[in-house]
Structure 1
Amino acid sequence: MKINRIGGIIAAASKKDAEPLLHIGTIPIIKRIVISFQQAGIFPIVVVTGTEEDEVRYQLSSYGVIFIPNEDCDQPELFDSVKIGLQYLLGKCERIVFTPVNVPMFTPDTLNRLLESKGDIAVPSCGNRGGHPIVLSDEIVPHIISYSGKDGLRGAVSSLADRRTFVPVNDQGIHMTVRDSSQLETHLANHNQALLHPTVQLSLQKESVFFNTRIKLLLYLILDTHSVRQACDRMALSYGKAWDMLNKLEAEAGYPIVERRHGGSRGGNTTLTPKGIQFLKTWLLLEDKVFRFTQNEFTLLFHDSGLFT
């Protein structure tokens, strides 16, 4: 079921190559990428974990991302993580943004340009060289997943060259990896300026908040997994806390959001009620409208007036 337009994947599994907790500036590179994704309105964001998994989950537990482990993370194959993320998001989004964690310095503007482009595969290009992130349509994803030839993701994308679009961007960060440590530090000030954006945290409250970003992700994952326990594992949330949040939401909303099915041959499950699904979809639509309005007005009022460049 497609719940949102654009999902994202960050491959951070390889114990040999990935360095998700490497600090550039004051934050780890994986947080830097999540912030860039969120600034472009991407939801859900899937982090394929492996190396330093516990610390990655701890660092991002409040950022509203989904954690999916790559059990073979001792193997350095990036394409394995790509497929894990794509298999999870297949059928859930119209388009999917992918980047390896070790390419953290692309800008949100580059993301927006890619998402505005047409075609099944959008690749950013700077100085006649392609880079990351790339954007895939849901239609092309099965072809990427089924590819078994040489050169991993690069080979899969090259095999579909007739469905690939190169998008010119003025962003050297699409090429910079953690191996370019001196370049990353030199580029840091520019990238931090590019990250400047207004943050609007939508919530619902009466006497206290009863719906926010974390509960939104919890509902999304319950709809996907039909299990509160599995949902909690994927978002680094305690089981007891999850039920406290759900019970409070239902009490304040005044109608059932989740449906609990006990027993049976499969041991029972939990999913969203039809009204719960409607609630989640409507909330995501509201968020998208508020996000677009805020970005447009910020550009008009601050950038176009010269208060920020």
Structure 2
Amino acid sequence: MKKTGAVIVAAGLSSRMKAFKPSLPFGDSTVANCTIGKLKKLDIYPITVVVGHKSDELKKSIFFDDIRYVENKKYSETQMFDSVVLGVEDIMNLCDRILIMPMDLPAILEETLEKVLSIDAELVRTTYNGQPGHPIIVSNEFAKSLGNYCGEDGLRGAMESYGSPITNVDVDDEAVYFDIDTPEEYSELIEWNYQRGKGYPIGPQIEVKLKAREVFFDETAYRLLRDIDSQKSIQQACVSVGISYSKGSKIIKDIERELGFPVVEKWTGGAGGGGSSLTKEGLRLVDSYSKLMSEMYKDLEKKYKKYFAMGLRG
């Protein structure tokens, strides 16, 4: 039985995405761990990840111990094909054939991968409705020729000029070319994947409440006081928070009752006809709550990754 390895390319800048794609939430894990996890379930080994941009961050975010890493130090000035060559050169003597795909195709179904892997041909290309996608599987012999290819169209051009026929495997899985190059594409992929019954990305969420004799301060109260400070009006702050004036007034009264001192002060007259602002104690309350939440979220993110980054499905 032929041994299949894999090269996953993740060296790019992700400039259009404006976020580091491999670490984005996907399914019950991240893009990187979801993609690698599917390959490992199919006993693909070895797996080489070609890194470049934020290489250290990517390595730390991958929670599999037996992954090989190759760094494309010229990732900002080279193409994906150059990363592919680095990856295949790393493992081409360790397996009989190599599965090649970019990291940012996390929605590909396991059954799709199984179907493509079942094809015994020198060059295998996945398609959906005739449109080329990933993964691509190439023989060890073809991999050895990649470093000498100097033509156009990268990997596609190298395959078409190699001399052996390309076996196209049409699959019923649009995800084979549904990558995430922009925030809009990422949002579309998340929603599309959810609609086909594959779940929604999970993440931690907490709410911190302050309690004296009774609970008197939460995120709604924080946003109300924050907006009173910026807008100098209780009425306008209630509108921006999305609560009635009577509810906003009650929140302020509850805070002041539990604390025993005022957090909002009103004034009348002047060109604007009066307004409201926070007392120095109110300002300190808002500032301290904001800093507490910021630190708690940072700690929560670390602990969440510790227990959930590998996903729930094993």
TM-score, reference length from structure 1:
0.57
Q: Which residue of 2 aligns with 1:75?
A: 77
Contact 2:124 2:166 in 1 (8 A): yes
Gaps of 5+ in 1: 194-309
Contact 1:103 1:177 in 2 (8 A): yes
Q: Which residue of 2 aligns with 1:117?
A: 119
Q: Which of 44, 47, 65 lines up with 2:46 in the alignment?
A: 44
Output the CA distance in 2 between the equivalents of 1:39 and 1:62.
Answer: 12
- Deviations for 1:182-241, whole angstroms, at most 9, x for unmatched residues? 431133234747xxxxxxxxxxxxxxxxxxxxxxxxxxxxxxxxxxxxxxxxxxxxxxxx
Closer, same or farther: CA 191–116 of 1 in aligned 2, 3 Å: farther
Larger Rg: 2
- Percent of aligned pairs with the same amino acid: 26
Structure 1 outlier segments of 4+, above 6 Å: none
1:168 Cα deviation (Å)? 1.5
Q: Which residue of 2 aligns with 1:13?
A: 11
Q: Which of 157, 178, 187 lines up with 1:155 in the alignment?
A: 157
Output the CA distance in 2 between the equivalents of 1:131 and 1:161.
Answer: 21
Letter of the 1:143 counterpart: S
Residues 118-133 of structure 1 correspond to what in structure 2 (within 5 A)? 118-133=120-135
Letter of the 1:38 counterpart: K
Gaps of 5+ in 2: 200-314
Residues 253-272 of structure 1 correspond to what in structure 2 (within 5 A)? none
Contact 2:11 2:51 in 1 (8 A): yes
1:181 Cα deviation (Å)? 2.1
1:53 Cα deviation (Å)? 1.2
Output the CA distance in 2 between the equivalents of 1:167 and 1:158.
Answer: 16
Aligned residues between the structures: 191
Contact 2:46 2:94 in 1 (8 A): no
Closer, same or farther: CA 187–39 of 1 in aligned 2, 3 Å: farther
Q: Which of 69, 84, 87 lines up with 1:85 in the alignment?
A: 87
Output the CA distance in 1 between the equivalents of 2:96 and 2:179.
Answer: 28
Does 1:140 pair with 2:142? yes
Q: Which residue of 2 aligns with 1:183?
A: 188
Contact 1:149 1:156 in 2 (8 A): yes
Output the CA distance in 2 between the equivalents of 1:74 and 1:108.
Answer: 32
Contact 1:124 1:130 in 2 (8 A): yes
